[in-house]
Amino acid sequence: MSVGVDVTVWRVVVVALATSAAPASAQWTLRGTGLVSILKHRVDAGYGVEPSSGVVGGSEVTVGAGDRVTVHLVAQAGSLKAQAPGAIARDVAEVAARLDAVTFSWLTLQVGAGHRTYSTLLARQAWSMITVGAEGRLAFSETGVSGTVRGAILPGVWVSGLDRPDLAFTGAAGMEYRPGHAVVALVYALERYRFPAGAGAERREQTAALTLKVGWSLH
Amino acid sequence: MKGLLVGLALGAILFGPAAAQEGAPDSTAQLLEHAHGLYERLDVERALPLLRRVLSPDWAFPVATAQRVDAYSYLAACLVLLGQGDSAAVYFRAALENDPFTGLDPRRFTPGQLAAFQAARRLTFAVAARPVNVVRVDPRTERLTFTIVTTHAATVQVEVRSADAAVHRELYHGESDGLREIPWDGLAAEGRLVPPGRYELVVDGRSRLLGRSDSAHVYFDVRHQLPALEDTLPDLRPRQLLPEHYPPSAATGDLAKGLGLAAGVALLAVLADRRLGSGDAELPAAVAATATVSGVIAFVWRRRHRDVPENGPANTRRRQERHDANEATRRRNAERIAQTVLLITPASGLGP
């Protein structure tokens, strides 16, 4: 991604967040959510595809100011087992923060940052990421039932030992149910990265996750 | 010869300024001041030509109305002292026609001069109103006072009108002779505070002695000064209320949303990197199935439950809360409007 595109993206984000700023008298809300994911990780660093998968668990704290601005803090970790000969088991841990700004009732702009580590017997690889995207919401006629579709680009990805990727995006879709103060969601998410060949081979990496979220809101 | 030159020089030094002041004054005010001095010393014969010079069309310096009235008054007073009563009356009348507020100070003028002036008042009819000053009036406790005058007894009608004549109020209608102060509380005829805008005070008078009429106008602007008002909230829009009845299309829409979301999940799965192989299809399939089932259940449920009676009271409560909030806002605004203060500033005419 070029510098010009970077600047344009950040301008859009800043304007969107500024226009969605919560009023001083906004009502604050707090929600705690437990996360359980089936995570499938695939990487090809030029030596063939190395698949691994496992269960990752974590929690999310959401703080809302009014009904327009929300901050999400996520922490999760788990172990992925090798799923093919030659693949290496690894532990994964991640912390992330995201700011949501509701632009329309059906559209939310999102900007976030995260840090992830993959640890194997051989080495530890650190990932730092910045995401910019949007989430669309399809509200069903029944109150509290909705579908969500999310897409984001990652204009900033820094991986230890690797150049920055020339392709990085993430997408997610799922169903969400909010009976009263409870929140239950099932979401499929996909992350794709492609690192340029450089001196070595081209590297491709992907994670796919099915996540069950169960949370409770405090008003 | 030398002694004569020294004498001339001394004379010029001693008498030069006075001679220059008397011969070539450099302003109307200076000449009037000199004429006043002569009058006070009863040197009427020398004061008269000076006063006539001020009133002459050939006088080169500007003459304000007050200065012209002053010159007319002293000229008339001088003529009274010289026994020229008829001529004095002409000049007193000229002073009154220029400014009906003209009066003579009894401490400075003789009874004969005052009597001549009163006679002139009876022969002249004019009405006038003093221009308003910049003033701040709290209508609850204060009044704006207009000052009007008639040169002699007259029937007077005094009215405040807006520039478009839409707002008006009669402040006085009756007999008046000389000065009269008329208070105004800032209200229009219907008892409401006048709106901001350009106004005029109209004084119409008809002489009881001469059968003549005259009028005077004073223009001023009225502005309101009050604490900032709050906006009321708009009525609740349909999307801000809970649905009480669903159309048949709602069920179909739910089914479409469920299927559409399932399609979206499938599309997202297609974006997976094929070069990294497959084998993750069960993850998007689980969500797609959930979305599809949700859509079907929502479709069936909504077809059987189009009415949502429990939302009726909830909507009524929301509307009542909005109504109560707006009523409270209106009450607060009414209290603030009641504190309105009028800012009065003079204006030059009906137009801007």
Taken in order of first residue, the domains within chain A and their CATH numbers are: 3-20+34-218 (2.40.128.100)
Contact B203, B171 (CB under 8 A): no
Which chain B residues are closer than 8 Å to A190 by Cβ?
A: 268-269, 271-272
- Partner A contacted by B251 (CB < 8 A): yes
DSSP A74-123: EEEEEEEEE-STT---EEEEEEEEEEEEEEETTEEEEEEEEEEEEE-SS-
DSSP B99-164: -TT----TTTS-HHHHHHHHHHHHH---EEEPPPPPEEE-TTT--EEEEEEEEEEEEEEEEEEETT
Alpha carbon dihedral B251, B252, B254, B260, in 10-degree steps, equals 170
Look-up: residue for tokens 């959401």? A62
Select from B254, B268, B288 the Cβ nearest to the Cβ of A140. B254
Residue from A173, A152, A166 nearest A13 by CA: A152
The confidence score (pLDDT) of residue B73 equals: 95
Q: Give the three-class secondary structure for A15.
A: helix
The confidence score (pLDDT) of residue A19 equals: 53
Angstrom distance (rounded) from CA A148 to CA A173: 5
Report phi then psi at B292, rounded to 5. Answer: -65, -45
- CA distance to B117, B185, B201, per residue, from B175 (Å): 22, 21, 18
Which chain A residues are closer than 8 Å to B290 by Cβ?
A: 174-175, 186
- Nearest-neighbour CA in chain A from B244: distance (Å): 11
Select from A141, A143, A173 the Cβ nearest to the Cβ of B287. A173
Angstrom distance (rounded) from CA A139 to CA B308: 17
DSSP A122-140: S-EEEEEEEEEEEEEEEE-
Fold of the CATH domain B21-123? 1.25.40
The sign of the dihedral angle between the CA atoms of B80, B84, B85, B91 is negative
Shared fold status for B21-123 and B127-229+342-346: no
The confidence score (pLDDT) of residue A189 equals: 97
Select from B239, B277, B298 the Cβ nearest to the Cβ of A140. B298
Fold of the CATH domain B127-229+342-346? Immunoglobulin-like (2.60.40)
- Nearest-neighbour CA in chain A from B327: distance (Å): 21
Ranges of beta strands (E only) in B31-90 are none
Which chain B residues are closer than 8 Å to A43 by Cβ?
A: 276
The confidence score (pLDDT) of residue A16 equals: 54
Kindly identify which residue of chain A lies nearest to residue B291, measuring between CA atoms. A175
Across the interface, whether the CB atoms of A42 and B276 are under 8 A apart is answered yes
Q: Give the three-class secondary structure for B42.
A: coil
Which chain A residues are closer than 8 Å to B295 by Cβ?
A: 140
Angstrom distance (rounded) from CA B269 to CA A50: 19
Across the interface, whether the CB atoms of A210 and B283 are under 8 A apart is answered yes
pLDDT < 70 regions, chain B: 1-26, 279, 351-352
Domains of chain B, residue spans: 21-123, 127-229+342-346, 238-272+279-337
Across the interface, whether the CB atoms of B250 and A43 are under 8 A apart is answered no
Strands A203-218 and B127-129: unpaired
Contact B25, B34 (CB under 8 A): yes
ipTM of the complex: 0.87
- Partner A contacted by B243 (CB < 8 A): yes
Select from B243, B258, B268 the Cβ nearest to the Cβ of A188. B268
Angstrom distance (rounded) from CA B76 to CA B279: 120
- CA distance to A156, A163, B266, per residue, from A169 (Å): 11, 16, 17
Angstrom distance (rounded) from CA B100 to CA B147: 12
Contact B339, B226 (CB under 8 A): yes
- Interval B171-208: pLDDT, tens: 999 999 999 999 999 998 888 889 999 999 999 999 99
Contact A73, A61 (CB under 8 A): yes
Which chain A residues are closer than 8 Å to B282 by Cβ?
A: 210
Which chain A residues are closer than 8 Å to B275 by Cβ?
A: 44, 49, 204
Angstrom distance (rounded) from CA A184 to CA A36: 12
Number of H helices, E strands in chain A: 1, 10
- Interval B217-270: pLDDT, tens: 999 999 999 889 999 999 999 888 888 888 889 999 999 999 999 999 999 999
Contact A166, A194 (CB under 8 A): yes
Show pLDDT as tens, one digit a residue, over chain A (219 residues): 444 445 555 565 555 555 555 454 568 889 999 999 999 999 998 888 999 999 999 999 999 988 889 999 999 999 999 988 888 899 999 999 999 999 998 999 999 999 999 999 889 999 999 999 999 999 998 888 999 999 999 999 999 988 899 999 999 999 999 998 999 999 999 999 999 987 678 899 999 999 999 999 986
Contact B171, B187 (CB under 8 A): no
Give residues with Cβ within 8 angstroms of B85, minimum separation 6.
Answer: B79, B116
Which chain B residues are closer than 8 Å to A165 by Cβ?
A: none
- CA distance to A26, A93, A107, per residue, from A21 (Å): 10, 32, 15
Q: Which residues of A touch B (CB under 8 A)?
A: 38, 40, 42-44, 49, 51, 105, 138, 140-143, 145, 147, 149, 171-175, 186-188, 190, 192, 194, 204-206, 208-210
- CA distance to A63, A90, A172, A209, per residue, from A53 (Å): 31, 9, 18, 9
Give residues with Cβ within 8 angstroms of B123, minimum separation 6.
Answer: B89, B93, B210
Strands A49-65 and A28-44: antiparallel
The confidence score (pLDDT) of residue A10 equals: 58
Select from B246, B272, B286 the Cβ nearest to the Cβ of A210. B286
Residue from A138, A83, A141 nearest A107 by CA: A138
Across the interface, whether the CB atoms of A188 and B258 are under 8 A apart is answered no
Which chain A residues are closer than 8 Å to B307 by Cβ?
A: none
